[in-house]
A = this chain, B = another copy of it.
Amino acid sequence: MRWKVKVIVRLKEGLNDPEGRVIQKALRNLGFNVENLRVPKYFEFELESEKPEEEAEEMCRKLLANPLIHEWEYSVEPVS
């Protein structure tokens, strides 16, 4: 069966996000009152699988994220 999978990989709480800091500063310089800006990694793909959640979890552990510094979430829905 075919699935649409979306994965968000965030740095763990407390870890520095230098890209986020730079973008936040630029937005504030433009006059936007922005705080706590983060730039997680985000992946979208289609997956042919009989156990999509299990495989998404495995992809995160093996390749998309680094379990030492990241946490992740994913959503899985059938492709119509």
Binding site for B on A (CB under 8 A): 8, 20, 23-24, 26-27, 30, 32-49, 55, 58-59, 62-64
- Nearest to A47 among chain B residues (CB) is B34
Contact check, B39 vs A43: say whether CB atoms are below 8 A apart: yes
Which B residue sits closest to A55, measured CB to CB?
B32
- Which of B8, B27, B62, B64 meets A42, CB within 8 Å? B8
Across the interface, do B45 and A42 meet the contact criterion of CB distance under 8 Å? no
Q: Given A43-B38, A43-B39, check contact A63 B33 (CB 8 Å).
A: no
Q: Chain B residues near A42 (CB, 8 Å)?
A: 8, 39-42
Residue in chain B with minimal CB distance to A48:
B33
Complex CA–CA separation, A40 to B36 (angstroms): 20
